[in-house]
Every structure is written in structure tokens, then in C-alpha cells.
Structure 1
Amino acid sequence: MKILLMEDDLILNEIIEEHLLEMGHEVISVFCGNDAEELLYSQKFDLLLLDVNVPDIKGFELLLNLRENSIKTPAIFLTSLSLADDVEKGFQSGCDDYIKKPFELKELDLRINNIKRLFNISSNNQINLPNNMILDKENLLIKKDKEEIHISKKEIEVLIYLTRNKDKIISIEELSSNVWAYEDSPNASTIRTYIKNLRKILGEELITNIRGVGYRFNSK
């Protein structure tokens, strides 16, 4: 997983970063909200680990701004704010989990693994799709029956986002915000072309076109 870690305590930042690297994750760590925001609009991450009381933009405000811009990257708050009102504010700002400091690294691993389960984030390079199909991320192909169909890296990223949000209607705008960096956002027709190609390969019944609204990846 590619993880953004925002923690302004230098020692704790280093401890968490080293642990995550040992667990096989790719980690980019920052110490303030401004640096985090800059990265979040120029790169894509699988998970956000966010302290709340950091310089510049606070964690709650940062995540709320992301959610208002349709960026739905899973997020866990790591914070010493432990009152029920704080937890409520954290979830209202759009977090997927909330860990109160101090915490053990094993607990962090358990929470991360739960996020991976909920959002269908695979640790390996292959993702099982319905109808016995397999997405091979490393080799940029879909294995369908005995056939191997090559697709582009961006088509893979679109498909992964749809599978992580299976059975939910995803708009063109949401795909653009969560698959492309802000500066590289494509026009709607480009995204429709990617979807059209994926539907042709996977079958139209697997990715439903909700006319005028968006697309839905069907898990069944």
C-alpha cells in the first residue's frame, strides 16, 4: 500500500514510518497540513494516516476538504483527542477509523488490515474478479478464461477504484478526483472511453452504465 503519514511528532513519525516500511508498505511522511495537502492533490495514495493537531491545516479540516472535493481515499486519524465529541467530529469529517494515542503498532496493523478488507485493497499484484477473471496489475492484463488481454495502466487504476467501491454508483467526477492527480485530470470523454473498453472486456453486466449518473461495478 502507498500510505501518506501526517504526524508532527518527529520521534513518533519515525517510529510509525519505519514500522510501515518493515511491513512492506510505501510511505511518504509529512509534518504539517500544507505539505500533506500539496501531496494529496499531486499524488494518489491507498491510505491516509492523519494526526489532527498539526501545523497549518488541522487534520479534521484537511480531510473534510478532501471529502468535499470527492477524494475518498481511506483515512485513519491517529490522535490524542479522545473525547466522544472529538471522535464524532473525526467521523463527521469523513474518516474511516479513529485510533486514540497512545496505541500499539499491532493495533495499527489490525486497523490497516481492516481497511484493506473493507476497500478490497490487495497486497499482491493480482485481484480476483467475478466470473473467474483475474486482474494482473504488474503485467497490465486481465486473465479471462485462457485468454490474456492487455490493458493500459490507467484502465487498471479505473477498474481498481470501481472494485474498491463495488455496488456503489461512481460518477465521472469522482473517478477523476480519485484516479488522476489534480493537474492531470482528463475530460469526461476520455474516462468514458476507458470504461467502454473495460465493459467490452469484462462484460456489460459487470460494469453498469447508470445513464447521466455514473457507473457501478457489480459484485454479483
Structure 2
Amino acid sequence: MAQILVVEDEPGISSFVAKGLRAAGHQPTAVATGREALAHAHTGGYDLMVLDIGLPDLDGFEVLRRVRGQGSTMPVIILTARSSVDDTVAGLEGGADDYMPKPFRFDELLARIRLRLRTETAPPGPTVLTCGDLVLDLLGRQVTVGGTTIELSARELALLEAFMQHPGQVLSREQLLSRVWGYDFDPGSNVVDVYVRYLRRKIGAGHVATVRGLGYRLVALPG
């Protein structure tokens, strides 16, 4: 269970995010101002921060600057209605680990949170996974196929990571639900099949084989 600081001044969004995080097994603390965010962050008791930019007192960029100025390496995911390239660059260069524009889907936010927490707490290990012509940079969140960079959503990225952590191994739908979604999900849902189709469209259908009655398997194709 991770302690997550949610900094959001819109009550509806704040409540929605906090409720979803609790359902996923995390412990959220919601605050509505930049000064509250700094006071909480200063305690060092949080594993990750979800930070809005348009706060009523301190701009979220200023909150981020001060948090990093205190030496904190806590992962920060910016969640904001500002979606211009300049704002994205400012957030990432200011020390944010990820950037999600509003409106957003909670499952994608949760996937990004899980990825950042896993990166932060995992013991030292390979940060680049390779399977044939597929290369996944875990820290840079970048995928290349035959040397060409492919854009994946956070959920697609998490699914590919699950496959690449177990190359050649058959993974059942239940295993993929547990590894990628990480919370109770209707076992009768076809969400895994849907995301496998999405993934195949982007990395090439031949990279993911269907093993009838069992699940899916990542296939190493030559570069």
C-alpha cells in the first residue's frame, strides 16, 4: 500500500481520484492548495504525488520547484487541464516524472502510478528489456520495434512489460489481469483481449501469439 498525496482543488476530481486509489489498495491524502501540498511533502511520508497545476495559491510548477529544491526524489505525476507542449515541457523539465492532461481515464492514471511506484521501489535490475527486435526502456518509457520508436499508452506499456518480463512464457488472462491491472476485475471481462489487439496493431501482430485455451505468449522476431 502506497501513501499518495493528491493535490487538486476541484472537489469532484479530488474525491474521484482518492476513491479510486483507495479501491486499488493505496492510502491517499487529498489537499487543495499548494501550501498544504508543500507542508505534507516536507514530512517525507509520501511515496508519490499527483499534482494539479492550476491551484488557488501557489502555481503547481512552483510547488514542484520547491519540492525538488528540498531534495525530494518522490515521483510526481502532473494532472492538469493545461495540455500545451510548452506546459508539458515545463513540467517535465521542472522535475515531474509524468504528465497527464485532463480529462483523463482513471485506469490509465493508475497504470502510470503503478509504473512509477514499481520503478521507485524495485531493487536494482535491468532498465532495458529486449526480446528480438523489441526494446523496452523502462525508465524512459520508450519502445522501439526494429529501431523505430512506437508510442504506447500507459496500459499498453504495462502489458508489454509483463510480456517482456517473461519472454516465451504463456501468460493466462488471469495472470495478465493481476500483473497489469493490479486490482479486482471481472474475470469475464475481455479487457485483456482488447489491449492485446491494441498492442498488436502497434508492435506488429506476429509479436504476440495466442495459445488457444491458455493465454498469450510474446514471440521474439529477428530485427
Bin of the TM-score, shorter chain as denominator length: 0.5 to 0.7
Moved over 3 A (4+): none
Partner in structure 2 of residue 96 of structure 1: 97
Q: Does residue 46 of structure 1 match 2:47?
A: yes
Task: Report matched runs for 1:1-220 at 5 Å.
Answer: 1-120=2-121
| Shift of residue 118, structure 1, vs aligned partner | 1.7
8 Å CA contact 1:7–1:29 kept in 2: the answer is yes
| Shift of residue 44, structure 1, vs aligned partner | 1.6
Partner in structure 2 of residue 177 of structure 1: none
User: Does the C-alpha gap of structure 1 residues 129 and 58 become closer, same or farther in structure 2, counting only changes over 3 Å?
Assistant: closer
> 2:16 and 2:37 mapped to 1: Cα distance?
19
| Shift of residue 23, structure 1, vs aligned partner | 0.5
Q: What percentage of residue pairs aligned between the two structures are identical?
A: 33
| Shift of residue 110, structure 1, vs aligned partner | 1.1
Unmatched 5+ stretches in structure 1: 122-127, 131-220
Q: TM-score, normalised by structure 2?
A: 0.53
> 2:72 and 2:124 mapped to 1: Cα distance?
24
> 1:39 and 1:117 mapped to 2: Cα distance?
22
8 Å CA contact 2:77–2:98 kept in 1: the answer is yes
SS, match of residue 119 in structure 1: helix
Kindly tell me the number of residue pairs found equivalent between the two proteins: 124
Unmatched 5+ stretches in structure 2: 126-223
Partner in structure 2 of residue 153 of structure 1: none
Q: TM-score, normalised by structure 1?
A: 0.54
> 2:7 and 2:21 mapped to 1: Cα distance?
13
| Shift of residue 43, structure 1, vs aligned partner | 4.1
> 2:92 and 2:44 mapped to 1: Cα distance?
24
User: Does the C-alpha gap of structure 1 residues 129 and 110 become closer, same or farther in structure 2, counting only changes over 3 Å?
Assistant: closer
Q: 1:60-89: CA deviations, max 9, x gaps? A: 111111112211100000001100000000
